[in-house]
Amino acid sequence: MFATIKHQAWYVALKEGRKAVKRRLKLHRYRGDAHACPVCGTQLARFKPVWKSWWRAIAEHGYIYPVAAIETFNAYAYSCPACDASDRERLYALYLDRVWAARDASRRCRLVEFAPSPALRRRLRGLPSVDYRSADLHRRAVDDRIDITAMRYADDSIDAILCSHILEHIPDDRRAMRELFRVLKPGGFAIVMVPLIVGLDETQEDPSINTRAMRWKHYGDGDHVRQYGKRDFIERLAAAGFTVERLGIDVFGAEVFRRAGIAGNSELIVAHKPPPVADQARRARHAPALRPASSQ
């Protein structure tokens, strides 16, 4: 019964509203000028660490990897006390700010966010040139109830996609990747992120790891069905047709990461659907590329 209620729009709105009130009441504890959230713009002395229940869960189940080895995860500066944006969501905002700055403001951008985060959703809905849609298979408080492995979106119909920490929950992740490629417009891009471990190249995927306790131990969450290795993850995206771009601290800059509370080992994975061959030379001439921060 509760599993059904928690996905209802009224329940989600009530829960988000209560959290927002609590954040406002406690925000004075975090005010300062050492950091700034790229999602909401709030100046902060510090970010909030990941919730205590997460620490208890990995300790209880004996998670096999050290927390420091988790890529793009700042456990000690995890969420913004003003808007609740996680460190990876703050990284997405840094990238999207650059994309919007380089894009013709008169061109509409159709963007779909799967399993939307409240902080990013609020920000993206407010952009005048973005036609934002939220999507999820189970949640009712979204624009589109969508199975990511069998989407009803038309071919070549979406300019940008946010698919953050979704694929590790899906048994047929390769099919989902092919669907992401199908619905993207040529020249479009998808931010596709999954939990990764620094130095782990091969994906760990074992059908016998099939209980919440075992999945917590091996995959870092009771709902995950695999632990991706980076090389294998990128190869899977490439096999679906994508050109994969990896953007880290060398692109954004150490000071930008520090201000935004983003761990130094963080890396953004952006999957691009190649434009038609006739357009590639023109785009190369006119579209500014993201370069290392030191060369900007």
Element (H, E) at 88: helix 87-102
- State pLDDT tens for residues 151-162: 999 999 999 999
CATH fit for domain 2-295, picks 3.40.50.10310, 3.40.190.80, 3.40.50.150, 3.20.20.70: 3.40.50.150
d(CA 17, CA 11): 10
Confidence of residue 239 (pLDDT cuts 50, 70, 90): very high
Mean pLDDT calculated for residue range 29-45: 97
Q: Tell me the angle at which helices 118-125 and 87-102 cross, rounded to the nearest 10 degrees.
A: 20
Mean pLDDT calculated for residue range 211-232: 98
Dig out the tokens for 267 from the structure.
């890396």
Confidence of residue 294 (pLDDT cuts 50, 70, 90): very low
Domain boundaries, the chain: 2-295
Check pLDDT > 70 for residue 31. Answer: yes
More confident residue, 251 or 295: 251
d(CA 105, CA 74): 33
Other Cβ atoms less than 10 A from the Cβ of 139: the count is: 16
Other Cβ atoms less than 10 A from the Cβ of 59: the count is: 9
Supply the pLDDT for residue 296. 35
pTM > 0.85: yes or no: yes
Supply the pLDDT for residue 49. 97
Mean pLDDT calculated for residue range 205-222: 97
